[in-house]
Amino acid sequence: MSAGIDGTWYDAHATFYGDMSGGETMKGACGYGNLFEQGYGLQTAALSTALFNNGFACGACFEIKCVNDPQWCIKNAGSVKVTATNFCPPNFDKPSGNWCNPPQKHFDLTMKMFTTLAPYKAGIIPVQYRRVPCTKIGGVKFEIKGNPFWLLVLVYNVANAGDVSSVSIKGSKTGWLPMTHNWGQNWNAKSNLVGQALSFQEEESEVVLVEAMEVAKVEELEVDMVVAYKVVLAGAMEVALVLVEAMEVVKVVDLEELAVGMVAVLEELVVTFNLKLPKSTNDFTLPCN
C-alpha cells in the first residue's frame, strides 16, 4: 500500500526517457495505455523500486523540484507535478550508477518535465519531491478485459490520492466481491458476471472510498461476439460450430460461409455496442467510463 499524501519534501534524483513527444512513455508497468487519451499527457514519471511499491503507487501524484545544483537547475523553474504511470527497473548487473536500484528513490521523467527543471544535457539532477493530491477531470474510469469467467479491470483517472489500495466489484445479482491486485493498476475478479450491471468500490491510500455504481454491463452478446471473433481468426471449425450451437444460430457446415456470416455479425455488433475490436486475438476491450 502506498504511503499517501505527504507534505514533507524528500531527497531523490531524476532523469528522463523518451523524446519531447512522449512516445516512449506510453503504456508501461502500470497498465495504462495512451496517456494522452487517458488524461495523463506528458506530466508523468516512472518510479524506482523504492517508490513503485509493486504497482500500488501507480496513479499517485508527486511534486518535484530541482535542488542543490546551480550548474543544471534552471533558475526560478519552480516545480512540476507528475503522475506515476510506469516503473524504472533496477539493474543488479550494474550495482553502481544505476539510479533505479533499491534503495534509491528516483524519478524517470518525460523529457518535457525534465527540461522544465534542467537542460536535457544535465542527464541526471538532484531533486526533492513530495506526494500531492491528484487533480483529474471526469471521475474514476474503468477498462474491462477478459472473458465470461475472468475479468481484468484497469482503474484510472483517479483524483485525490490517485493510487488505489483495494477494489471491489458488484454485479446486479451479487453482493460486493473483493478483487485481487494483479499488476500495476489492474485488478481481477474470477466470477461469472455476464449479463449483469457492474458497480465498483475503490479505496485509495488516503482511505477515501469511492463508489462507481453500474458503470458497465457485460452483455452475453458482447462476450459471445468477442469469442466468435477469436474463433473466426483462428479458423477453428469445430470450435466455431460449437459456438454457433451455443448461440442458437443455425448451423453452417461450410467454414468459409460460417466465417463470412460471423464477420457480418461482428460488424453489426461493433456499431451497436460501440466496441473496440482487439488488435490481438488474445485480448479485447469493452469501453466503460
Per-residue pLDDT of the chain (289 residues; tens, 9 = 90+): 456 788 899 999 999 999 999 989 998 999 999 999 999 999 999 999 999 999 999 999 999 999 999 999 999 999 999 999 999 999 888 767 788 999 999 999 999 999 999 999 999 999 999 999 999 888 888 898 888 788 899 999 998 888 998 999 888 888 899 999 999 999 999 888 888 888 888 787 654 444 455 455 444 334 333 443 343 344 334 444 444 444 444 444 455 555 555 555 555 555 554 555 444 434 444 444 4
Edge-to-edge order in the sheet of strand 197-203: 176-178, 166-171, 197-203, 209-217
Amino acid letter at 132? V
Dihedral of the CA atoms 25, 151, 289, 107 (nearest 10)? -20
pLDDT for residue 133 = 93
> For residue 106, which phi and psi values (nearest 5 degrees)?
-145, 145
User: What pLDDT, on the 0 to 100 scale, is given for residue 274?
Assistant: 52
Whose cell is 471473433? That residue is 229
Closest CA to 106 of 125, 93, 92, 78: 125
Cell of 252: 453452417
Q: Determine contact, residues 61/204, Cβ cutoff 8 Å.
A: no
Residue 85 φ/ψ, nearest 5 degrees = -130, 0
Residues shown for the chain = 289
**Nearest Cα to Cα of residue 48 among 125, 103, 127, 126:** 103
Side chain identity, residue 73: C
- In the structure grid, which three cell numbers stand for residue 31, read together? 497498465
Alpha-carbon Rg for the chain, nearest whole angstrom, is 22
Distances (CA, A) of 106 to 74, 98, 103, 130, 201: 19, 10, 9, 12, 31
The conformation of residue 276, written as its DSSP 8-state character, comes to: B
Residue 199's identity, in one-letter code, is S
How many helices and strands, by DSSP H and E, does the chain display? 5, 15
Q: Dmax of the chain from CA atoms?
A: 76
In angstroms, the Cα distances linking 140 to 132, 197, 200, 260 are 18, 17, 10, 39
